[in-house]
Structure 1
Amino acid sequence: MTFFLVFFSFVFFVSCANQDSVVPDTLRIGLSAEPDTLNPITASDAYASRINSYVHDSLIDRDLDTLEFIPKLATHWKISSNHLEYIFYLRKGVIWHDGHPFTADDVVFSFETILNPKVEAPFLRVYYADISKVEKIDDYTVRFVYSKPYFLALSMCGSIPLIPKHIYDTETAFSQNPANRSPIGTGPYRFIEWKTGKRIILERYENYWDKKPAIKKMQFKIITDDTVTLQVLKKGELDLASIRPIQWIKQTNTKKFEESFYKLEYYVPGYNYIGWNNVSPLFSDAKVRIAMTLMIDRKKILEKINFSLGKIVESPFFIGTDQYNTSLVPHPYDPQKARILLSEAGWKDTNGDGWLDKNQITFRFNFLYPSGSKFGERLGPIMKEDFKKVGIDMSIERMEWAAFLDRIEKKNFDATALGWSSSFETDPYQVWHSSQAKIDRGSNFISFENPEADFLMEKAKVEFNEAKRNKLYYELQDIISREQPYTFLFVNSSLVVVSKRFENVVVHKAGIETKEWVPKN
């Protein structure tokens, strides 16, 4: 269960014309941001994760409807009664896309690579820190041994990102290995091409160990501008789209469109937020962060920008699970109370210029968002105007995704708007524990630190009773609500459009699965 960064316009568009020119067994998907890498161990964004899900298989998977664990590269597994040992029995006859056999050596090597401090994977390493060793019993049996129990151990061991030892165990620096841009996996699709700024192409792997999908080619087209993407859509050059609310409400309701496309609405784990840099002199005080939340009319924003397609959230847990604390009292839109809190924190207009100041420093900050995020583009001006009414001066800066991520990971920002994509059962340690604020490329990039919160997360990690664990998480959510390191926004409706030239398009509890789709012709 790893969190992956996303911005608000993670868009996949769909074709609606020129159907006759379409290659029937090719699925064309719009990608609104370009991955930095396709190495499954170092990739930290949802764009790479999506592509890698076709190239790489995991030891175990989850049933799309029941969410129960099912075999994948491991045929079965055993768990010790003390929850410290996990033995996986690997499927024989599986080969990497270059024809080399997949064995326990690859699993052990992948684990050792994740734990290597020279490898830039701190967001992933945190989940495996309590494993004392991973050992090869034989070519097709591997054992994970924990130093202490972890309630997500089966999930994390079973989903460990796997890389081929024979490709990476070389003198070439890990970050410079050519396979980072041309990955070799064991999944149903093999990598074919990555043309920077244009496209990434995958092709069905004909020697795949499991049932081969009907779609033979996956083409990801990199289009970072929503307007251009819509133009490409109308030309009939894309097949799958996760569209924006305005497009869902106003631009996809014609009879012609509905005859050509399925419109699918559902929720998947994740949430959007505004993150305040907690070590900034402006946002180090919880009173100030609470005031910022009180000045943001989330209901109006949800209605105005998202056309009410979503649900306002108050915590980092998925609202559709028992982990979410439904007793949290929502922070209302209350600019007057915000003024009082800011005054108590020492921010007042002492010179009559209309701007709040403290110790001769004007309350002025920069709001940073990634290019391609239409939500961020519309959110910024609304925030700027509301903050100005209270005496806070906010500037707005947009950056290309890779450069934006670099700024965020280096904590070189004041405030930003982003989202986390996760799973149905989460461990908040990666994003919220103070240790993750002290490491390079850690996911706690807003630098939230609270000893009581750390204690609750550490205690929850070893608690296997779900009710008791959730109680600990409820307490954690109370702390986060009081501290407001984020202004939590919404869990957005997934608004997906799929061409009706594909059949067997089903919405499962876990979402949609393109690998089970079948071209009509």
Structure 2
Amino acid sequence: MKPINKLTLFSLLFMFLLTLWGFSSCSSDGSGEKKLNTGAQPDAAAGADPSVSAQEGGKGFDEIAESLGFKTNSAYKSPGSPNAKKGGSFSMAIEEYPATFCDVGENANIQTVSLINGMIFEPLLGFDAETLDYYPGLATHWKISEDKKTYWFRIDPNAKWSDGTPVTSADIIATYKLLVDEGLKDPFTNSLYTETYEEPKAESKYLVSITCKKENWRSFLYFAVSTKIYPASYLSKTNGAGYITKYQYDFMPGSGPYELNKEKTKQGERLTLKRRNNYWAADYARNAGQFNFDNITFEVARTDELRRDKLLAGEVDWYIVPRAQWWAEELTEAKQPDIARGAIARQKIYNRNPKGTSGFALNTNRAPFDDINVREAMSLLFNFDELNSKLFFNEYVRINSYYYGTPYAAPNNPKPEYNPTKALELLKKAGYVKKPGDKWLTKNGKPFTLELMSDKSIERIFVPYQQSLANAGIDLKFNNVDPNERFKKVQGKDFSIAYQSYTGLFFPNPESSMHSKFAKVPNNTNITGLADKRIDELCDLYDKSYDTKERIKYVQEIDALACEKKHWVWGWVAPSTLRLLYWNKFGMPESGLTYAGDFGDVFALWWEEPEKAKQAETAKKDKGIKMDKAPAEIDFWKAKGK
């Protein structure tokens, strides 16, 4: 589980909810696979409280909704396959057991935790990443005022929590109160909700409204799609501080298709979700072909080697291959008989998922990286081409933007170069000198020494950079730190240099990682201390623009300005979205993933094929069994090379 920024707990959390709830539609394209269409929204009146009138969202609301200014979407198509089957299991290994199950609050920025919460709790609406349309979730209808500052939602009267109680407007209000509670120790989430929204109002049991304090085109998107709703009956018994303590390793009742399997979950070792048998929207056509596995299990294995070996031994089902060397040399048909005979699938999947940001983050809040000359020198001493050739087998491409591979990337950003001579000139300009006979550069009598938090599984990747820095007179030391401790240090800005990898955004939120108000405070994603007046202005302009082309121009300028400040030694990304090994027991839609989804799609869209599962299980013991091989590549969205 890699840490994710508050891009991921809000903007990025939006991406995960695209993955789990806002699936892009698989439109009919003549490819031969039948697509699932929701048709009309199911009759919400079936679960309506008879004491609630049609005008208040009760029985008969559907017939008058349009006249009241409400919208819905009955044309949304499920990305699930008509061939999907319920039952079976899915398992994968993760690096660490979550420090908390809470999706908001202190230490909540963990990718897997966000995905798990996305299967237990639901937002008001879903979002189709391909068509850019909203569709019903907990709410059947929505309305936006003419000044675009007030939103109304009609909650589906059928919606229920896993304890059987109905979802009502009180739950939306209680969720808001939690998110603004400073006891969460989550300043980004607190400030986002307090600065953006007034407290929601219950217009009735099923109608709720919320008014924005300022104009922002993303405000509706964030509140409707990114905000997962929690039960008021449980939140009323605690506060922010109590929430992060009480639910550190437990969940409140959710409204989503899964819940924690407490019998199979073992703290520190294993976390298992089970499919609910009383999910209120199980039969809704928008969910057809989705949420198929009875159990989804995450096993803890702390190193890449252990996670790989668990897959090869048949102890887990599914594995993202992190190392290009393994993919190119070890995990091949020639080296792995189970792959050669089709028992283990070896596969790359491509789609339009943003690739994200990676590299060495330089903390400008402390020396020596408060000097741009030093920061630029660090970049000039990173020989990516050699690393890609020797260790990565040319499986990766180097980024040069915070928004690489998206329309938001500044088109004229320079490509990073390797130039030790220029680096030494810049270091000299910054006051670093190497005295005769000395190995290390010094400034004011102190050697140039850096500490990089690392772990043994990835240290080999950093050794060439360590050597390049040493050749220039910089002593880079590795400090093996527990992932949770490393995460806390980075979030607290208690580091000098740290290698970070962040998932990409479908809609960027530059404010969360680039606005100066987050430059010096902890627990946000502006980890390098970026502060620039023009970037702050552009963030404000971006938030107020409803013109897509205009927003792109604003972010491109932000990207160019931020890149000029050299806060990152840019890293690399893989062209494919997933590079996988898995036991050949699964069925999936022909797209593999949705238009812009990530590995969270797999939990919802794939399923276990009973006969293939039996054959794969037998093949683990009988090495003579051959199976039909899965496709080596899936490029349904024609994204390869884009």
Q: Is TM > 0.5 for Structure 1 vs Structure 2?
A: yes
Tell me the CA shift for residue 275 of structure 1.
0.6
Contact 1:434 1:448 in 2 (8 A): yes
Deviates more, 1:303-312 or 1:482-491: 303-312
Matched, 1:174 2:237: no
In the alignment, the residues of structure 1 paired with residue 222 and residue 313 of structure 2 have an alpha-carbon distance, to the nearest angstrom, of 42
In the alignment, the residues of structure 2 paired with residue 147 and residue 348 of structure 1 have an alpha-carbon distance, to the nearest angstrom, of 53
Contact 1:223 1:229 in 2 (8 A): yes
- Residue in structure 2 matched with residue 3 of structure 1 by the alignment: 7
Q: Larger relative contact order (C-alpha < 8 A, sep ≥ 6)?
A: 1
In the alignment, the residues of structure 2 paired with residue 175 and residue 122 of structure 1 have an alpha-carbon distance, to the nearest angstrom, of 16
2:232 aligned to which of 141, 154, 165: 165
- Residue in structure 1 matched with residue 386 of structure 2 by the alignment: 300
Deviates more, 1:437-446 or 1:338-347: 437-446
1:417-496 alignment runs, 5 A limit:
417-492=499-574, 493=576, 494-496=578-580
SS state at 1:329 partner: coil
In the alignment, the residues of structure 2 paired with residue 63 and residue 454 of structure 1 have an alpha-carbon distance, to the nearest angstrom, of 30
- Residue in structure 2 matched with residue 348 of structure 1 by the alignment: 433
Q: CA RMSD in A?
A: 2.3
Deviates more, 1:488-497 or 1:218-227: 488-497
Contact 1:40 1:161 in 2 (8 A): no
Contact 2:6 2:524 in 1 (8 A): no
Matched, 1:250 2:329: yes
Tell me the CA shift for residue 247 of structure 1.
2.8
Matched, 1:507 2:593: yes
Q: Which amino acid aligns with 1:131?
A: Y
In the alignment, the residues of structure 1 paired with residue 463 and residue 609 of structure 2 have an alpha-carbon distance, to the nearest angstrom, of 45
Contact 2:184 2:244 in 1 (8 A): no
- Residue in structure 2 matched with residue 12 of structure 1 by the alignment: none
Structure 1 residue ranges without an equivalent (≥5) = 7-22
Tell me the CA shift for residue 126 of structure 1.
4.2
Q: Which amino acid aligns with 1:469?
A: R
1:67-466 alignment runs, 5 A limit:
67-128=132-193, 129-158=195-224, 159-171=226-238, 173-184=241-252, 185-193=254-262, 194-211=265-282, 213-244=291-322, 245-254=324-333, 256-257=338-339, 259-260=342-343, 261=345, 263-266=347-350, 268-269=353-354, 270-317=356-403, 319-350=404-435, 352-369=437-454, 371=455, 374-375=457-458, 377-466=459-548
Provide Cα deviations, 1:51-94, integer angstroms capped at 9, x if missing partner: 22221222122336445332211212122232212222211222
C-alpha change, 1:47 and 1:296, in structure 2 (3 Å) is: same
- Residue in structure 2 matched with residue 518 of structure 1 by the alignment: 607
Contact 2:261 2:273 in 1 (8 A): yes
Provide Cα deviations, 1:153-210, integer angstroms capped at 9, x if missing partner: 2221112132222222225742454333111321111112342221001110111122
In the alignment, the residues of structure 1 paired with residue 121 and residue 168 of structure 2 have an alpha-carbon distance, to the nearest angstrom, of 14
Tell me the CA shift for residue 309 of structure 1.
2.4
Tell me the CA shift for residue 350 of structure 1.
4.1
Percent same amino acid at aligned positions?
Answer: 22
Structure 2 residue ranges without an equivalent (≥5) = 13-85, 283-289, 611-642
C-alpha change, 1:64 and 1:205, in structure 2 (3 Å) is: farther
Contact 1:430 1:436 in 2 (8 A): yes
C-alpha change, 1:153 and 1:307, in structure 2 (3 Å) is: farther
Q: Give the TM-score normalised by structure 2.
A: 0.74
SS state at 1:440 partner: coil
C-alpha change, 1:74 and 1:365, in structure 2 (3 Å) is: same
Provide Cα deviations, 1:262-309, integer angstroms capped at 9, x if missing partner: 513336322212111111111101111111111111233333333322
In the alignment, the residues of structure 1 paired with residue 244 and residue 603 of structure 2 have an alpha-carbon distance, to the nearest angstrom, of 31
Tell me the CA shift for residue 352 of structure 1.
4.5
In the alignment, the residues of structure 2 paired with residue 77 and residue 303 of structure 1 have an alpha-carbon distance, to the nearest angstrom, of 52
Q: Which amino acid aligns with 2:256?
A: G
C-alpha change, 1:438 and 1:136, in structure 2 (3 Å) is: farther
In the alignment, the residues of structure 1 paired with residue 399 and residue 100 of structure 2 have an alpha-carbon distance, to the nearest angstrom, of 31
SS state at 1:151 partner: coil
Contact 2:178 2:235 in 1 (8 A): no
In the alignment, the residues of structure 2 paired with residue 181 and residue 39 of structure 1 have an alpha-carbon distance, to the nearest angstrom, of 8
Please state which structure has a larger fraction of its residues in strand: 1
Deviates more, 1:423-432 or 1:503-512: 503-512
Tell me the CA shift for residue 399 of structure 1.
1.0
Q: Which amino acid aligns with 2:571?
A: L
Q: Which amino acid aligns with 1:303?
A: S
Aligned length: 501
Provide Cα deviations, 1:416-462, integer angstroms capped at 9, x if missing partner: 10111242111111111121133331221222222222222122111
